[in-house]
Amino acid sequence: MTRTAHRICPLCEASCGLTIELDGDRATRVRGNAADVFSKGYVCPKGIALGDLDQDPDRLRTPLLRQPDGSLAAVSWDEAFAAVETGLNRVIAEHGRDAVAYFYGNPIVHTIALPLYSRVLREMLGSRNVFGASTIDQMPKNVSCGLMFGDPWAVPVPDIDRTSHLLVIGANPMVSHGSMWTVPDLPGRLRALRARGGRLVVVDPRRTRTAEVADEYVPARPGTDVHLLFAMVHTLFAEGLAVELDEAGFAGLDQLRQAAGDFTPEAVSEVCGIAPGTIRKLARDLAAAPTAAVYARFGACTTEFGTLTNYLVDVLNVLTGNLDRPGGVMFGEAQHNALVATEPLVLGRWHSRVRGLPEVVGEFPVATLADEIDTPGDGQVRAVLMVASNPVLGAPNGERLDRSLAGLDFMVAVDCYLNETTRHADVILPPPRLLQTGHFDIVLSRMAVRRVARYSPPALPLEPGQPSESAILAKLALIAGGFGAGADPAALDEMIIDRTLQAVLAAPGSPFAGRDPAELKAMLTGADSVERRLDLMIRLSTLGDAFGLRPDGLNLAALVAHPQGIDVGALRPRLNEVLVTASGKVELYPEPVGSDVQRLAKRLLRGEVPGRDAADGGLLLIGRRNLRSANGWTHNVPALSGGSNRCTLEINPADAGRLHISPGQPVTVRSRAGSIEVTADVTDRVAPGVVSLPHGWGHGRDGARLRHAAKDPGASANALTDELVVDRLSGTAVFNAVPVRVTPAVA
Ligand SMILES: Nc1nc2c(c(=O)[nH]1)N[C@H]1C(S)=C(S)[C@@H](COP(=O)(O)OP(=O)(O)OC[C@H]3O[C@@H](n4cnc5c(=O)[nH]c(N)nc54)[C@H](O)[C@@H]3O)O[C@H]1N2
Ligand SMILES: Nc1nc2c(c(=O)[nH]1)N[C@H]1C(S)=C(S)[C@@H](COP(=O)(O)OP(=O)(O)OC[C@H]3O[C@@H](n4cnc5c(=O)[nH]c(N)nc54)[C@H](O)[C@@H]3O)O[C@H]1N2
Ligand code: SF4
Ligand SMILES: [Mo]
């Protein structure tokens, strides 16, 4: 029987609406859903391949359990959960709760289950050893926003549909489709920007697709955006281009002005490799534009001064009067509880055992997980709950982590593949198929460019006895909390609903004061306890119906009745709603920024230029993303691999000539951490002195089951990246501007 289903694509942050044609339980065709209120039919090759990912023969359909002979065998769900209970209890009884680390991966923003259960799982586990994809990705943005606005998830995004000037630094949204910025059909929106006379300016060491469609492209030296942005701030002050700021709303302006004093365009020019005149022009154009937005992403986060860089991005947005105004950068609206206030960010409430790295937003840096596993003593990590992550390929010095994970006493993975990381697990719990999973953007809605809400229920039912990913994670939480493998996941949801309602009713100025929580709870709809939790979130969000207090507002039933989504409108100014700093002002020179500025200023005084002093001509490694990849986990699908999706080292012709490297030749790339062999792609897309490798490669390892990916395994960029270097304020890994040497490979 054929029919059609709608599903929001979970493969990147653009969250396009897909139309899926089904024959029985298989997807026969996937295309963009033209009626989707947000994406309006836009789709990319990954979305079209959703059915192939769903049907991948290597995708796990049953739990796997490590056998006495070391092999992994398919077992029932009951056996698998019982094994988790036994294994976890043993480690906790012998070594305490900190001996179990919890690690969440990138799908935390692409699933319903991870955002719903990550927090309760952490609470129930009660371990300080929490790690996650944030510190190998966007944590510098969370920290800079937390310091400036109080809430680490108050992330302003470019109001692209109304801006007249977009400055993109270290991001390639034409290929990545946007990140920390949910913006479907970015190519179309950029075309519209330019059609109405707006400008796109890109700063990147690589001439990316985004750079190619820009009005102005400024090649940059990796790792030096912080200098560039400081010099732009300097220029705004020096030329009187900064807007007047109200002292009641902004703190630290004088300190900021003083700090920017040393960073003249002339002082930073050599470091950045950008002429002083170009730097001044970047600042002047930004100030002169009627509206403008500065946006920076992965390339600006995963460098040694990632937090400072992201902070300066929003400083520029503030100083040009573009924070929280149409056409500038604006705060999206979450689909979740807005009625209980967020606590302002406090950093370093505790420190990691081995390297003494500060906790950030409740986590330790992934860059120190191997230390915590390898170093004996009280609090040593002996077990890991690995949920939706493949850090063997994604973490800095992944090869070291690969060895560390092999030495654990116990490991549980929640993952759809037996891959480079999960091959170390004792128990693997697979989430249901993509078509058996619904979608709701809990995290991404906060960074969406319009006020939209959409819900896709699962296209196919679960098999009898098969748990949803929500139920899997709820079970893990209950086991970690000592309630046992037999406990009912729905009971956990009911408890969370009760707790949330109590907190909402008790909040100062609650619109529900005096109401009976049971009465509110009885109003929740949904097919199961998970949907009832979603209904609760939606009703309590700024777009929600507040249990009838806002009759036009949204609830789950409304979204179910509108499968194409509901568009409430463009973003609206709401800084006053999101700002939760202790001072009640936007902090323009928050405390820990000052000490890092001094560190930066000292380097500038010493005349340090990244890469220049390294051996063999000082090449700096950066990453790149391919249109048909989602990190590495899509490489097992033929439609998404091969062709242009290749693991090669891009190197500029000038460097290739100097190093006697010809196109297509195998080369060895070495760093402090390790070495790999790859093929050279000689191209002037990368600036001289820069080489580029994609990540998520390095397949074909013993024990993994990614049969298609193993045919073209590539090599892991993270065999080269260094776990010992992190952004000091956020603990985030440094994936860009990694010093490497490249030589022709010896045959
Ligand atoms: N050198 C270098 N390193 C990088 C980067 C880089 O650009 N360069 N990028 C960094 C970034 S931005 C990120 S986000 C990280 C990625 O790091 P990870 O968090 O490891 O993310 P993925 O590689 O996307 O892996 C996702 C994992 O979840 C599984 N999975 C997919 N869907 C689901 C699901 O619905 N449920 C469950 N339970 N599992 C699922 C996949 O099989 C895979 O094992 O890598 C980082 N590492
Ligand atoms: N097709 C595809 N889409 C994806 C993904 C994917 O793997 N494939 N991954 C998803 C994930 S997990 C994320 S986090 C997002 C990331 O989204 P983006 O940040 O937009 O993607 P990247 O390609 O990592 O872009 C980083 C850019 O920074 C540049 N760069 C490197 N170092 C520096 C530097 O020091 N300064 C400057 N100015 N630029 C620098 C790189 O050349 C690159 O163009 O993409 C998401 N979308
Ligand atoms: S752009 Fe992103 S969300 Fe849209 S179809 Fe492609 S992978 Fe899916
Ligand atoms: Mo990411």
CB 631 less than 6 A from any atom of ligand 2: yes
Q: What is the average pLDDT across 641-650?
A: 94
Predicted confidence (pLDDT) at residue 41 exceeds the cutoff of 90? yes
CB 299 less than 6 A from any atom of ligand 1: no
What CA–CA distance (Å, rounded) separates 398 from 706? 18
Predicted confidence (pLDDT) at residue 386 exceeds the cutoff of 60? yes
CB 186 less than 6 A from any atom of ligand 3: no
CB 179 less than 6 A from any atom of ligand 2: yes
> DSSP for 396-426?
TTHHHHHHHHHT-SEEEEE-SS--TTGGG-S
Check residue 334 and give its pLDDT.
83
For 46-59, write each residue's pLDDT tens digit.
999 999 999 999 99
For 168-200, write each residue's pLDDT tens digit.
999 999 999 999 999 999 999 999 999 999 999
Kindly tell me the burial class for residue 282, based on how many C-beta atoms sit within 10 Å of its own C-beta (0-12, 13-18, 19 or more).
buried
Per-residue confidence band for 274, with pLDDT thresholds at 50, 70 and 90: very high
Check residue 398 and give its pLDDT.
98
Q: What is the average pLDDT across 205-210?
A: 98
CB 13 less than 6 A from any atom of ligand 1: no
Share of the chain above pLDDT 90, in %: 95
Contact 160, 293 (CB under 8 A): yes
Q: What is the average pLDDT across 561-565?
A: 97
Ligand 3 probe mutation, 6, 50, 109, 177, most atoms within 8 A of CB? 177
Q: What is the average pLDDT across 648-666?
A: 97
Considering the segment(s) 611-744 as one domain, its CATH architecture is Beta Barrel (2.40)
CB 16 less than 6 A from any atom of ligand 3: yes
Ligand 3 probe mutation, 7, 8, 38, 44, most atoms within 8 A of CB? 44
**Residue 31 belongs to what H/E stretch?**
strand 26-32
Ligand 1 atom nearest the C-alpha of 132 is 19
CB 685 less than 6 A from any atom of ligand 2: no
Q: What are the residues facing 740 on neighbouring strands?
A: 619
Check residue 339 and give its pLDDT.
80
Contact 66, 72 (CB under 8 A): yes
Q: For the chain, how many helices (H) and strands (E)?
A: 25, 26
Ligand 3 atom nearest the C-alpha of 12 is 2
Sequence spans of domains, the chain = 1-55, 64-123+130-136+341-429, 139-335, 611-744
CB 118 less than 6 A from any atom of ligand 1: no
Ligand 3 probe mutation, 7, 9, 441, most atoms within 8 A of CB? 9
Check residue 608 and give its pLDDT.
83
Q: What is the average pLDDT across 513-526?
A: 95
CB 46 less than 6 A from any atom of ligand 3: yes
Same fold, 1-55 and 64-123+130-136+341-429: no
Least confident residue range of 304-313, 338-347, 373-382: 338-347
For 326-369, write each residue's pLDDT tens digit.
999 999 998 878 888 889 999 999 999 999 999 999 999 999 99
Per-residue confidence band for 141, with pLDDT thresholds at 50, 70 and 90: very high
What CA–CA distance (Å, rounded) separates 300 from 296? 6
Ligand positioned closest to the Cα atom of 630 = 2
What CA–CA distance (Å, rounded) separates 727 from 139? 10
Neighbours of 276 (CB within 10 A): 17
The pairing of strands 199-203 and 165-169 is: parallel
Check residue 419 and give its pLDDT.
98
Closest CA to 575 of 587, 558, 563, 562: 587
Share of the chain above pLDDT 70, in %: 99
What CATH code is assigned to 1-55? 2.20.25.90
Check residue 336 and give its pLDDT.
79
Helix (H, G, I), strand (E, B) or coil at 546: helix
Instruction: Report helix, strand and coil shares of the chain as percent, to nearest 5.
Output: 35, 20, 45
Kindly tell me the burial class for residue 377, based on how many C-beta atoms sit within 10 Å of its own C-beta (0-12, 13-18, 19 or more).
exposed
Per-residue confidence band for 236, with pLDDT thresholds at 50, 70 and 90: very high
CB 84 less than 6 A from any atom of ligand 1: no
Which is it for the CA torsion 652, 653, 655, 656, positive or negative? positive
CB 414 less than 6 A from any atom of ligand 1: yes
Contact 286, 294 (CB under 8 A): yes
Query: pTM value?
Result: 0.98
CA distance to 334, 445, 503, 656, per residue, from 540 (Å): 10, 14, 12, 58
For 574-625, write each residue's pLDDT tens digit.
999 999 999 999 999 999 999 999 999 999 998 888 766 554 568 999 999 9
What CA–CA distance (Å, rounded) separates 608 from 600? 10
Question: What mean pLDDT is reported for the chain?
Answer: 96
> DSSP for 108-144?
GGT-SHHHHHHHHHHHHHT-S-EEEGGGGTTHHHHHH
106 C-alpha vs ligand 4 centroid, how far in Å?
6
Ligand 3: residue whose CA is nearest its atom 2: 12
Side-chain-facing half-sphere of 426: CA atoms under 13 Å: 20
The pair of three-digit structure tokens given for residue 276, joined into one six-digit string: 């002083």
Contact 545, 554 (CB under 8 A): yes
CA-atom Rg of the chain in angstroms: 25
The pairing of strands 427-429 and 450-453 is: unpaired
Side-chain-facing half-sphere of 110: CA atoms under 13 Å: 21
CATH fold for the domain made of 139-335: Dimethylsulfoxide Reductase; domain 2 (3.40.228)
Q: How far apart are the first and last CA of the chain?
A: 56
What CA–CA distance (Å, rounded) separates 441 from 500? 19
What CA–CA distance (Å, rounded) separates 609 from 612? 6
For 461-488, write each residue's pLDDT tens digit.
999 999 999 999 999 999 999 999 999 9
Check residue 541 and give its pLDDT.
95
Residue recorded with tokens 């004061």? 513
Q: What are the residues facing 23 on neighbouring strands?
A: 2, 26
What CA–CA distance (Å, rounded) separates 35 from 487? 42
What CA–CA distance (Å, rounded) separates 201 from 215? 6
Predicted confidence (pLDDT) at residue 747 exceeds the cutoff of 70? no
Helix (H, G, I), strand (E, B) or coil at 302: coil
What are the E-state strand segments in 579-618? Answer: 586-587
631 C-alpha vs ligand 1 centroid, how far in Å?
6
What CA–CA distance (Å, rounded) separates 680 from 396? 22
CB 179 less than 6 A from any atom of ligand 1: no
The pairing of strands 410-414 and 383-387 is: parallel
The pair of three-digit structure tokens given for residue 27, joined into one six-digit string: 């997807």
For 248-258, write each residue's pLDDT tens digit.
999 999 999 99
Neighbours of 604 (CB within 10 A): 18
Q: Looking at the domain covering 64-123+130-136+341-429, what would its CATH class be?
A: alpha beta
630 C-alpha vs ligand 4 centroid, how far in Å?
9
CB 132 less than 6 A from any atom of ligand 3: no
For 144, left (φ over 0), alpha (ψ -120 to 50), or beta? alpha
Closest CA to 490 of 529, 535, 523, 520: 529
Q: What is the average pLDDT across 433-456?
A: 97
What CA–CA distance (Å, rounded) separates 422 from 703? 9
What CA–CA distance (Å, rounded) separates 389 from 543? 32
Q: What is the average pLDDT across 407-411?
A: 98
> DSSP for 39-97?
TTT---HHHHTHHHHHH-TTS--S-EEE-TTS-EEE--HHHHHHHHHHHHHHHHHHH-G
Ligand 2: residue whose CA is nearest its atom 6: 630
The pair of three-digit structure tokens given for residue 228, joined into one six-digit string: 């560039």
Closest CA to 45 of 694, 707, 648, 634: 634
CA 130 to chain centre: 16
Q: What are the residues facing 439 on neighbouring strands?
A: 456
- Opening angle at CA 738, ends 622 and 601, nearest 5: 110
CA distance to 235, 242, 291, 581, per residue, from 245 (Å): 17, 9, 17, 17
The pair of three-digit structure tokens given for residue 599, joined into one six-digit string: 């560190």
